[in-house]
Amino acid sequence: MKTIVAVLASTFLISSAYAQSTGVSASTPPSPDASTPARVKSDAKRNMEVETHIKDLHAKLKITSAEESQWTDVAQTMRDSAIEIDKAIDKREAIVNNATAIDNLNAYGDIVQAHADNVKKLAAAFAPLYASMSDDQKKVADDVFAHRAQPVKKTTKATK
């Protein structure tokens, strides 16, 4: 189960990568209208990426018709999680140009907290599906998620 939680975190790479790649430049003020064409296009692109990821996982995991209802719960959890993380990212983007260091840290903390909370939700949704999978499916799931997981780099210890 510990491994499942660790590797499920990788399913949020789309949102995490988006969080790091969508920094607003200091010369470009954020749009006050969240429904601008650029925002709508960005949201549509993110939704498409999530749906593509869900379909890809469905195929790789060879979800059976008997597992479909459990998979539906997992997929919906992934969609809901992406929305929550995107909201935290959007909130940070809206303040980034006028944010103090503390504001920025708190906004980033909100993103990280949303990510952590949603990884736990995803693990809870995935656990019953994983338990019902055949040994071959579990092996594929383990391999798929292990492949996507990024190695954790150790930092050097600070000296006093």
What's the pLDDT tens digit per position in 77-130?
A: 999 999 999 999 999 999 989 999 999 999 999 999 999 999 999 999 999 999
Phi and psi, residue 97, nearest 5°: -70, -25
This prediction has a pTM of: 0.68
Q: Decide: 85 and 122 in contact? Cβ < 8 Å.
A: no
Q: Decide: 84 and 118 in contact? Cβ < 8 Å.
A: yes
Q: Provide the b/e sequence for 66-87 (b: ≥16 CB within 10 Å).
A: ebeebbeebbebbeebbbbbbe
| Cα→Cα distances 65→54, 70, 125, Å | 16, 10, 17
Domain residues of the chain, as ranges?
A: 2-14+34-148
pLDDT-derived band at 151, boundaries 50, 70, 90: low
Q: Quick one: pLDDT at residue 116?
A: 95
Q: Higher-confidence residue: 154 or 129?
A: 129
Cα atoms found within 13 Å of the Cα of residue 15, Cβ hemisphere only = 27
**pLDDT per residue as tens digits for the range 46-61:** 889 999 999 999 999 9
